[in-house]
Chains A and B, each alone.
Chain A
Amino acid sequence: MTKEKREIIIFSIFTLAVLIIPFFLRGSYYLNVLVFIGINTLLAVALNLLLGYAGQISLGHAAFFGLGAYISGVLTTRFGLDPWLVLVIAAAASGSLAFIIGFPILKLKGHYLAMATLGLGIIMYIIFNETVAVTGGPSGLSGIPNMHLGALIFDNDMNNYYLIWIITLIVMLLSINLSQSRIGRALRAIHNSEVAARVMGVNARILKVQIFTVSALISAVAGSLYAHTMTFISPASFGFNFSVELVTMVIIGGLGSIYGSFLGAAILTVLPEFLRVLQDFDIIVYGLLLIIMTMYLPGGLINGLQKIVEFAAGKVGKRGGSGA
C-alpha cells in the first residue's frame, strides 16, 4: 500500500511541476524545447513499453512516428479532414500495421529482431521519400494545420505545451498503471525468461504483439501531434538515426522506468542544444553514451539517481536516528 501511495505522490508532484513550469517561462525559447521534450517523452515511453518491459528491441520505431505524422499531414492537407479525427485514424492505422507485422516479426529474437525492425524502418523511410505524389518526397510536406479545440487554436508554444503535455501525462499514467499490473508483470517475465513465462501460462506471442501494437499506436499519436505542431514534416525526421536516438533515450533514462523515459527524452532533446558547437557530430556523443551506459550503468540514469537518493535518505535517516 505504501509503495502505491508513494507512486501516487510522485506522479502528482511530477504533474504539478509540468503544469506550472510554463508560468516561469512565458514567451521563452525554452518553452519550445519543452514541447519537444513532451513529444519525445511520449515516444520514449512507447518504446520503453516494448524494449524496457517486454525486452523486445525495435530499431524501426521512427517508422511508426513517421507514419502517424504523414497520415495526419496528408489527410489534413489533401483531404481537409479534422486534425483530431486524423489523429485517431493515424493511431489506428499505425497500430494495425504493427499488429499485422507484429506476428511474424516478434517471432524473431535478439539480433534478428533488431535487424528485422531496422529493415522495416528503412522500408518505411524509403516509402516516405519515394511516394512523392502523396508525401511530397524528400522536400517534405508543409501547410499542415494546427490542432484546435473549438475556437482555441494550438498555434503557439504555450498552447502546444499544454496540449502535448496533458496527453503525455495521461499516457505516462496509463503506462505506470499497466507496468504494475498482471500485464506488466507478464511482460517483465517474458523479458527475464520467455520460456518460464510461457510455462506459467503467459501467452508470450500474443502479449508481445499487443504491446508492440500499443507502442506503435502511441508513437503515431506522437507523430500526429508533431505534424500539427510543426506544420511541416520531411522524411529526414523519421529515419534510422532517429530510431537509434529513441533507443538511446530509453537506455539512458532507464529500461523499464517511465520517469526514466522522460529523463532520457529530456536529455536527448536538450543535449543537441549544448552540442550545437559539434553540429552533426552529436552522433559521436550518442554512440559513446550507448556504449558507456550499457556497459557501466545498465539501469540507466534513473536507477543511478534512485541509488543516490536512497543513499542520501539512508544517511539522513541514520543521522536522525542517532540524534533521537
Chain B
Amino acid sequence: MDNSRQLFQYILSGLSNGAIYALIGFGFAIIHNATGIINFAQGEFVMLGGMFTLFFVAFLNLPLIPAIILAILVSTIVGIVFERLAVRPLKNAKPLSIVIITIGASILIRGIAMLVWGKDTHAVPAFSGSNPLYIVGATIMPQHLWIFAIAVLIIIGNKIFFSYSIIGKAMRACAYNAQAASLVGIDVKTMVLFSFIISSAIGSLAGIIIAPLTMTSYDVGIMLGLKGFCAVIIGGMSSGLGTVLGGLLLGLLESLGAGYLSASYKDAIAFIILLLILFIRPEGLFKKKETERV
C-alpha cells in the first residue's frame, strides 16, 4: 500500500512537472516555427512569470488574480521589447549569431532579475491554500489540480487559436513558407512579433503556476527552459500533442528516476534524454524524417 501510494505521488508530480515542461516547450515551438530561431531566453520568461507574481503579491500586496494578470502582462512586454531590440534587427543573421544574441539576452534578463530581486529563493503562495486533498488514499496538493486545469486550458486554447483564428492560421502559413505567406499579404514581421507575445505569455504563465510548488529565484529559468526544450525536441518542434506527450514523458521519467534511482541525478536525467533524442531522433519521436534542403 505504501509503495503504491509513493508511486502515485511520483506519477502525480511527474505529470504536473511534465505539463509545465510542455507549456514551456510550446513557447520554443511557436517562436521557432515563426522565425527558425531557438530562443535561448525562453526560460527567462518562465522565471519572470513567477518572480513578478511574487513581487506583485508580496511587495505590492495585490490579490493573487490581478498579480498574475499583471505578471503575465509585464513578462509579455519584456518579450516584445526583446523582439524589437534584439530579434527584429537581425534579419539574415547566421544561426551562430542568433544563438549568441538570445543567450546574451537570457543572461541579461537573469542578471537584471538578480539585481532587482536578489539571489534568494522565494516561496510563492499556492493559489488555493496548501492543505493537501486526500483522494483514494493518496495526497494531492490543490496546486497540482490548478496546474493540470490551466495546462489543459492552454493546450486547448492553443489548438483552437492555431486551427481556427485568422492570426493563428496566418502564423502557421508563415511557419510553413514565410515568402509565400508574405506574397499573399500576410505581414510576416507582425506574425513574428505575435509569436514572441504568445510564447512569452505562455512561458510566464507556466512559471506562475509552478512557482508555488517549486519556489522561485532569479535563476530557475535555465533549468526549466532546458527541460521545456527537451519536451519540444521529443515532440518534434510542434506546439501540439507531440510536445505535450514529450513533456509528460520527460516529467514522468524524471520523477520516477529521482524517486527510485537517485534524487541527486534528477536534472541529469532530463539532459541525458535530451542528448539521446538529439542523437538518435532529432526530428522527434513522432515525426517522419525529411530530406534537409541544401
Binding site for B on A (CB under 8 A): 51, 55, 57, 59, 104-105, 107-112, 114-116, 118-120, 122-123, 126-127, 129-130, 195, 240, 244, 247, 251, 280-281, 283-284, 286-291, 294-295, 298
Once the chains bind, are B38 and A115 in contact (CB under 8 Å)? yes
Q: How far is the CA of A195 from the CA of B293 in the complex (A)?
A: 10
Q: How far is the CA of A244 from the CA of B101 in the complex (A)?
A: 12
**Main secondary structure on chain B at its contact with chain A?**
helix
Determine the chain A residues whose CB is within 8 A of the CB of B105 once the complex forms: 287, 291
Determine the chain A residues whose CB is within 8 A of the CB of B222 once the complex forms: 240
Determine the chain B residues whose CB is within 8 A of the CB of A298 once the complex forms: 97
B278 close to chain A: CB less than 8 A: yes
Quick check: which of B19-27, B48-56, B108-116, B167-175 contacts chain A, the rest being far away?
Answer: B108-116
Q: How far is the CA of A115 from the CA of B222 in the complex (A)?
A: 12
Determine the chain A residues whose CB is within 8 A of the CB of B115 once the complex forms: 281, 284
Q: Which of B94-111 contact A (CB under 8 A)?
A: 95-101, 103-111
Once the chains bind, are A126 and B226 in contact (CB under 8 Å)? no
Among A104, A119, A129, A247, the most chain B Cβ lie within 10 Å of the Cβ of A119
B185 close to chain A: CB less than 8 A: no
Given known contacts A291-B105, A294-B97, is B275 in contact with A116 (CB within 8 Å)? yes
Given known contacts A114-B38, A283-B111, A295-B89, is B101 in contact with A127 (CB within 8 Å)? no
- Selected from A114, A119, A130, A294, the residue in CB contact (under 8 A) with B271 is A119
- Selected from B37, B97, B107, B265, the residue in CB contact (under 8 A) with A283 is B107
Among B103, B105, B110, B229, the most chain A Cβ lie within 10 Å of the Cβ of B103
Q: How far is the CA of A289 from the CA of B268 in the complex (A)?
A: 30
Among A112, A247, A291, the most chain B Cβ lie within 10 Å of the Cβ of A291
- Selected from B95, B111, B112, B265, the residue in CB contact (under 8 A) with A130 is B265
- Selected from B37, B104, B265, B294, the residue in CB contact (under 8 A) with A288 is B104
State how many angstroms separate the Cβ of A164 from the closest Cβ of chain B: 28
State how many angstroms separate the Cβ of B272 from the closest Cβ of chain A: 7
Once the chains bind, are A115 and B96 in contact (CB under 8 Å)? no
Measured CB to CB, the nearest residue on chain A to B38 is A111
Q: How far is the CA of A288 from the CA of B106 in the complex (A)?
A: 10
Given known contacts A108-B282, A283-B110, is B267 in contact with A122 (CB within 8 Å)? yes
Measured CB to CB, the nearest residue on chain B to A255 is B96
Can you list 29 residue pairs at the A/B interface with Cβ under 8 Å? A55-B96, A104-B275, A108-B282, A110-B95, A111-B38, A111-B99, A112-B278, A112-B282, A114-B40, A116-B279, A120-B271, A122-B226, A123-B268, A126-B264, A126-B265, A127-B268, A244-B103, A281-B111, A283-B107, A283-B110, A283-B111, A283-B114, A284-B115, A286-B104, A287-B104, A288-B104, A294-B100, A294-B104, A295-B86
Q: How far is the CA of A291 from the CA of B103 in the complex (A)?
A: 8
Binary interface encoding of chain B residues 171-208 relative to chain A, with 1 for a CB under 8 A from any of its CBs, else 0: 00000000000000000000000000000000000000
State how many angstroms separate the Cβ of B126 from the closest Cβ of chain A: 29
Given known contacts A280-B119, A290-B101, A294-B101, is B274 in contact with A119 (CB within 8 Å)? yes
Once the chains bind, are B104 and A290 in contact (CB under 8 Å)? yes
Determine the chain B residues whose CB is within 8 A of the CB of A126 once the complex forms: 264-265, 267-268, 271
Among A51, A107, A109, A283, the most chain B Cβ lie within 10 Å of the Cβ of A283
Given known contacts A115-B226, A195-B294, A281-B115, is B271 in contact with A123 (CB within 8 Å)? yes
Q: How far is the CA of A53 from the CA of B219 in the complex (A)?
A: 32
Q: How far is the CA of A108 from the CA of B222 in the complex (A)?
A: 21
State how many angstroms separate the Cβ of A34 from the closest Cβ of chain B: 27
Binary interface encoding of chain B residues 11-49 relative to chain A, with 1 for a CB under 8 A from any of its CBs, else 0: 000000000000000000000000001101000000000
Among A108, A127, A290, the most chain B Cβ lie within 10 Å of the Cβ of A290
Measured CB to CB, the nearest residue on chain A to B119 is A280
Q: How far is the CA of A114 from the CA of B104 in the complex (A)?
A: 13
Q: How far is the CA of A77 from the CA of B38 in the complex (A)?
A: 43
Q: How far is the CA of A290 from the CA of B99 in the complex (A)?
A: 10
Determine the chain B residues whose CB is within 8 A of the CB of A55 once the complex forms: 96
Once the chains bind, are A123 and B272 in contact (CB under 8 Å)? yes
Determine the chain A residues whose CB is within 8 A of the CB of B103 once the complex forms: 59, 114, 244, 247, 290
Given known contacts A108-B278, A284-B111, is B95 in contact with A290 (CB within 8 Å)? no
